[in-house]
């Protein structure tokens, strides 16, 4: 019998009910990831990356305004239908999450050690002595100096970067099967960032831990991810193995993101590429393709017909009616200086 994938999302939708009406932040996301994969989720702020990742563990249920649709299968079990008591046993043990802002995850009235030890004693049934030893060990692995003394510090006694490392230590303490990392290294300097990325990739190798890595940093994606999914306006618009996506991006949005990366060997006077416009409001989602209001190649079909996910090749999929024609369109744009779209 075939083993179920580690994580499988089937048409996941997340709606928020507001005074202005229903806003769909995640508009039908589907993908599968296996054990040992590191999948990067990339896109601009407001594209739905964080809401999608928090929806996996139903972390938005503190408000009655949220509504989920679809399936989130973890090792074959649907987390969206799971009783909350059972889901709590999954959170922090089988699936851990690292947030961008450590102050949203660290309790200010307990020491760092208390918070890590509580997780270990709850999920791993360690004794108090064993849990403290493990807490000191994992703090050291994340690069916190003098972990045997820092373990007794409160969050306010740590710098922002050290708070972030303490939160990462808490997430990794139970050696989860799946780690969801939402911009985990944003607040860290490049040296500590490298240590954290090395720690995550080492646990990925030794434990077979799957990692869902949400980030704006395409450099990090290129360094550690095995595959990439590009999100725009609550949906995946392109997905491919990392090397293939960086080498041959197909969606106009993906191309724009990659062209926006500064080049060290480029002309110092050359302006950075900018994707014109902004992500539309969830209350004013364009008809047809969500990117049509910003796409230089959009025509009437794009503005009126919602593109489906098309199979460009065996492992490369893209949500664009004209992906195969863009190179030719770009050549004509450069050749005659005229707009291509209708």
271 in a structural domain:
yes
For residue 314, how far is the Cα from the chain centroid?
A: 23
Distance CA 127, CA 88 (A): 21
**Which segments in the chain show pLDDT lower than 50?**
339-340, 342
Res 27: pLDDT: 94
pLDDT averaged over the chain?
Answer: 89
The helix (run of H) or strand (run of E) holding residue 85 is: helix 84-90
Residue 226 is given by DSSP the state: S
221 in a structural domain:
no
309 in a structural domain:
yes
Give the domain-ending residue among 151, 175, 199: 175
Res 266: pLDDT: 60
Q: Which domain holds residue 270?
A: 249-336
In sequence order, the β-bridge partners of residue 228 are 40, 240
- Each residue's pLDDT tens digit, 100-138: 777 777 899 999 999 999 999 989 899 999 999 999 999
Res 13: pLDDT: 96
Give the domain-ending residue among 140, 175, 210: 175
Give the domain-ending residue among 121, 156, 175: 175
Contacts of 4 (CB under 8 A, 6+ apart): 73, 75, 76
56 in a structural domain:
no
- Each residue's pLDDT tens digit, 52-80: 999 999 999 877 789 999 999 999 999 99
Domain count, the chain: 2
Using the Cα atoms of residue 202, residue 205, residue 210 and residue 213 in order, give the sign of their dihedral.
Answer: positive
293 in a structural domain:
yes
139 in a structural domain:
yes
Res 40: pLDDT: 97
Q: Which two tokens stand for residue 251?
A: 């969606």
């Amino acid at each position: 019998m075939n083993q179920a994938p580690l994580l499988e999302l089937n048409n996941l939708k997340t709606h928020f009910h507001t005074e202005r009406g229903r806003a769909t932040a995640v508009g039908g996301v589907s993908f599968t990831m296996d054990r040992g994969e590191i999948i990067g989720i990339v896109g601009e702020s407001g594209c739905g990356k964080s809401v999608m990742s928090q929806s996996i563990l139903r972390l938005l249920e503190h408000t009655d305004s949220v509504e989920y649709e679809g399936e989130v299968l973890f090792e074959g079990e649907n987390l969206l239908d799971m009783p909350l008591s059972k889901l709590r046993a999954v959170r922090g043990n089988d699936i851990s999450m690292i947030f961008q802002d450590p102050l949203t995850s660290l309790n200010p009235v307990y020491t760092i050690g208390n918070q890590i030890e509580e997780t270990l004693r709850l999920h791993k049934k360690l004794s108090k002595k064993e849990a403290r030893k493990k807490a000191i060990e994992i703090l050291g692995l994340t690069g916190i100096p003098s972990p045997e003394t820092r373990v007794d510090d409160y969050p306010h006694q740590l710098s922002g970067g050290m708070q972030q490392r303490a939160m990462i230590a808490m997430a990794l303490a139970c050696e989860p099967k799946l780690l969801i990392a939402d911009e985990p290294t944003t607040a860290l300097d490049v040296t500590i960032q490298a240590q954290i990325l090395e720690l995550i990739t080492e646990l990925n190798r030794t434990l077979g831990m799957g990692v869902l890595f949400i980030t704006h940093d395409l450099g990090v994606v290129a360094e550690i991810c095995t595959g990439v999914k590009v999100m725009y306006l609550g949906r995946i618009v392109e997905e491919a193995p990392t090397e293939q996506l960086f080498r041959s991006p197909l969606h106009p949005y993906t191309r724009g993101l990659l062209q926006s990366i500064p080049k060290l060997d480029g002309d110092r006077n050359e302006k950075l590429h900018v994707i014109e416009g902004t992500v539309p409001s969830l209350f004013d989602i364009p008809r047809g393709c969500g990117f049509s209001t910003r796409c230089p190649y959009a025509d009437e079909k794009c503005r009126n017909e919602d593109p489906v996910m098309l199979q460009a090749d065996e492992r490369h999929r893209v949500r664009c009616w004209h992906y195969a024609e863009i190179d030719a369109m770009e050549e004509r744009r450069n050749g005659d200086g005229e707009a291509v779209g209708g």
